Homo-oligomer: A and B are copies of this chain.
Amino acid sequence: MENELLELREKLGEISDLESSLALLSWDQQTYMPPKGAAARGRQQATISALAHQMLTSPEMGERLQRLHESRDELSDDDRALVDVAFYDYKRTACLPGDFIVELTLAQSSGYEAWVAARKNIDFPSFLPCLEKLIDLAKRKAEYHGYEGSPYNALLEDFERGMTAEQLDSIFGELSLRQSNLVGKITASSNQPDTTWLDRNWPEQSQLDFTLLLLRDMGFDFDAGRQDLAQHPFTTSFSLHDVRLTTRTSRNDLFSCLTGSIHEGGHGLYEQGFHESDARTPLAKCASLGIHESQARAWENIIGRSLPFWRHYAPLFLKHLDSDPAKISADQIFRAINHVRPSLVRVEADECTYNLHIILRYEIERALLEGKMAAGEIPEAWNARMKELLDIEVPDDASGCLQDIHWSVGLFGYFPTYALGNLYAAQMFEQIEKDLPNLWTEVEAGQFDGLLGWLRRNVHLHGRRKLAPRIIYDSTGSEPSSKAYLRYIEAKYGKLYNL
């Protein structure tokens, strides 16, 4: 058995090496690759990805995992965790037939092309056949995986294992009502922030320089990672000692680079925080996308959009930007960076409206998967729900149901993880405030060691040893819910808008 374990670790290590190389191919593609490099890059990715898939789903791998799994009670805790996760990955991947994967890959590729064109030409009908095909494939995928309750559960599991559509209904139900209600009150409030001072050009290099200082304060290890520019910010890693953040700057948006960098920094701290001894194994990965997002949102919103944070950083930030700290106060920035404005586009949504965009998508994709809505009905359903939730008229599908890439590449069940990230973060922070009574004094001093230590112990170090609901329960004493989050936004924005 000792030998079986050694060989398993060796093979999983090789798979991890291939995945890391794939991540580098993709990072380079989005940061430094010259435009004409794209075609060859696609083939390189396909080759490495196929090799990793072959290794993971090989009969030897399956048989070895089967044998080890049968003896799992005799294994050490670490070995058992590894065998469980690897066996799960094996079964999850091997149950999809090869020709189904080919069909899916082709449909994703045509879906993406059709979506790009449809969005450009504001022509949903031209995208519809591809979308229908992708929904059909998603349903078939759910059948291959098997599920209890809704077929949506089979898809959700790829991104948020341990969570179910039934739980989401109960979590999102109260959330959508109360959050929508709060947004309505905010919009109607006469106490709106002054944001006219934001309307100028802000030096881009200075924005960038400031994010480096901030990421260092947060605890991001620049000897084990870096930040580069990319068109669409993302975080990736090639090992826990090599984590790559990306960001972008905008001359006339003071906050987008800053909040983007803090967000990716939160992701990056998670990736730098796995257990050293889990390196090169599938345990050194996130518990779920919702947990990953919670780390990003905690830093971006709960910390980075807080008044104590700005009491410390306002003068530093303004000095970097060659602005006079005497003329712009921490409070002024705090109000402006928390400006709530219902808007059409998810990725531009503020903290207070964001979840509503997600709930809308979740409702639609779930109805599609359960056969309760036809793909052709999406635009109407989308626009009606935007009106209900955010009181917004959608002028056209490009800024409506065609705005996101996800469905075009067959990603159904992914959206809820964005909202769960917000909820998990708020739930953790209620506990963190209890566990670390000096939290906000430390934040106001630009010190985050205590906070990072809490996240390391309760989230990062576990890697995939616990599922998301378990991480939440063990660290906060409650099941995932929207309660803490609602308390958080109602308190914060009630005060900000004098409600």
Residue of B nearest to A44 (CB): B17
Nearest CB on B from A268, distance (A): 12
Question: Considering the complex, which residues of chain A in the window 253-311 have a beta carbon less than 8 Å from any beta carbon of chain B?
Answer: 279-280
Q: Is A9 an interface residue (CB 8 A)?
A: no
Residue of B nearest to A225 (CB): B34
The answer to whether A32 has its CB under 8 Å from any CB of chain B is yes
Q: Judge whether A475 is part of the interface by a CB distance below 8 angstroms.
A: no
* Known pairs A32-B226, A228-B32; A17 contacts B48 (CB<8 A): yes
Considering the chains assembled together, what is the distance between the CA atoms of A225 and B34 in angstroms?
6
| Subset of 10 A-B contacts with CB under 8 Å | A13-B43, A14-B47, A34-B226, A36-B221, A37-B224, A37-B239, A39-B239, A39-B241, A40-B279, A51-B51
Smallest CB–CB gap between A364 and chain B, Å? Answer: 39
Chain B residues with CB under 8 Å of A32's CB are: 32, 226, 228
CB distance B28 to A28 under 8 Å? yes
How distant is A6 from chain B, measured CB to nearest CB, in Å? 16
Contact between B242 and A36, CB atoms less than 8 A apart: yes
Partner among B41, B51, B226, B242 whose Cβ is within 8 Å of the Cβ of A238: B41
A residues at B contact (CB < 8 Å): 13-14, 17-18, 20-21, 24-25, 28, 32-37, 39-41, 43-44, 46-48, 51, 221-226, 228, 238-239, 241-242, 279-280
**What's the Cα separation between A41 and B35 when bound, in Å?**
26
CA distance A36 to B226 in the complex (A): 11
CA distance A319 to B162 in the complex (A): 64
Among residues of B, the one whose C-beta sits closest to the C-beta of A37 is B242
Closest beta carbon of chain B to A273's beta carbon, Å: 14
Of B25, B33, B44, B242, which contacts A34 at CB under 8 A? B242
Which of B14, B44, B279 is A20 in contact with, Cβ under 8 Å? Answer: B44
Q: Nearest Cβ distance between residue A106 and chain B, in whole angstroms? A: 18
Q: How far is the CA of A43 from the CA of B238 in the complex (A)?
A: 11
- A239 CA / B48 CA spacing, docked (Å): 16
Number of copies: 2
Q: How far is the CA of A102 from the CA of B170 in the complex (A)?
A: 59
A242: which B residues are within 8 A, CB to CB? Answer: 33-34, 36-37, 40-41
A13 nearest CB neighbor, chain B only: B43
- Give the distance to chain B from A74, nearest Cβ to Cβ, in Å: 29
Chain B residues contacting A48 (CB-CB under 8 Å) are 17-18, 21, 48
Query: Which residue of chain B has its CB nearest to the CB of A243?
Result: B34
Across-interface contacts of A18 in B (CB, < 8 A) = 47-48
State the Cβ distance, A237 to closest chain B Cβ, in Å. Answer: 9
Q: How far is the CB of A483 from chain B (nearest CB, A)?
A: 40
Residues of B within 8 A of A40 (CB): 20, 238-239, 241-242, 279-280
> Shortest distance in angstroms between A368's beta carbon and chain B's nearest beta carbon?
36
- Per CB-CB distance, the 9 closest pairs between chain A and chain B, nearest first, are A37-B242, A40-B239, A17-B47, A36-B241, A36-B224, A17-B44, A14-B47, A36-B223, A35-B223
Please report the C-alpha to C-alpha distance between residue A242 and residue B35 in the assembled complex, in whole angstroms. 8
Shortest beta-carbon distance from A129 to chain B in Å: 31
Instruction: Verify B222–A34 contact, CB threshold 8 A.
Output: yes
Q: Which residues of B contact A20 (CB under 8 A)?
A: 40, 44
Contact (Cβ within 8 A) B43 A280: yes
Contacts of A21 in B (CB 8 A): 21, 24-25, 44, 48
In the complex, chain B residues whose CB is within 8 Å of the CB of A224: 34, 36-37
Q: Considering the chains assembled together, what is the distance between the CA atoms of A91 and B39 in angstroms?
A: 31
Set of chain B residues within 8 Å of A44, measured between Cβ atoms: 17, 20-21, 238
In the docked arrangement, what's the CA distance between A47 and B32, Å? 24
Q: What residues on B are CB-neighbors of A279 within 8 Å?
A: 40
Inter-chain CA distance A28–B242, complex, in Å, is 11
Contact (A223, B34) CB under 8 Å given A17-B48, A24-B25: yes
Q: How far, in angstroms, from A222 to B241 measured CA to CA in the complex?
A: 31
CB of A33, distance to nearest CB on chain B (Å): 6
A37 touches B238 (CB 8 A): yes
Q: Which residues in B have their C-beta under 8 angstroms from that of A223? A: 34-36
Q: Which residues on the B side are within 8 Å of A36 (C-beta)?
A: 221, 223-224, 241-242
Cβ of B241 and Cβ of A37 under 8 Å apart?
Answer: yes
Judge whether B24 and A43 touch: CB under 8 Å: no
Cα of A33 to Cα of B237 in the assembled complex, Å:
11
